Amino acid sequence: LSVSPYCLCKSGYTGKFCEIEYFRCQLNGRFTYQYNCAKGKYFECIHYGYDGPNKNGILLSRNCPLSLRYNVLTDQCDYSTNVQCIENETEHSLF
C-alpha cells in the first residue's frame, strides 16, 4: 500500500494535485511536521515488507497530547519550551 505525499497548496485550492510536494514517506520512523509543529502534529511512516528503495510507505498524521509538541531529537512528545517551531505557517493538505 502507498499514499500520496503530503502537499502544500495555495489557500483555497480545490484541485486533486498541488504544485509543491512537502513530504514523501520513504523511510520508517517519525518525522517533524514543521507547518503544524505548534499544534503537536507529526508524521509517522510505516513500510510493510520491502517495497524497494524508491517506493512509498503508509504516511500517517499523528498528534501529541494537548499543549505538547513532537521533539525529533528525543522521538517523543515534549513541552513547547524544548521544541522550536516555524511560526505563522499554515497547512494546506490533501491528506
70 neighbors 77 (Cβ within 8 angstroms) = yes
- Segments making up each domain of the chain, as ranges: 6-82
Q: 0.85 cut: is pTM over it?
A: no
Structure confidence by residue, pLDDT tens digits, 55-91: 667 878 899 999 999 999 999 999 999 998 876 544 4
Q: Does residue 9 surpass a pLDDT of 70?
A: no
How far lies 25's CA from each of 1, 30, 41, 78, 88, in Å? Answer: 12, 10, 16, 23, 25
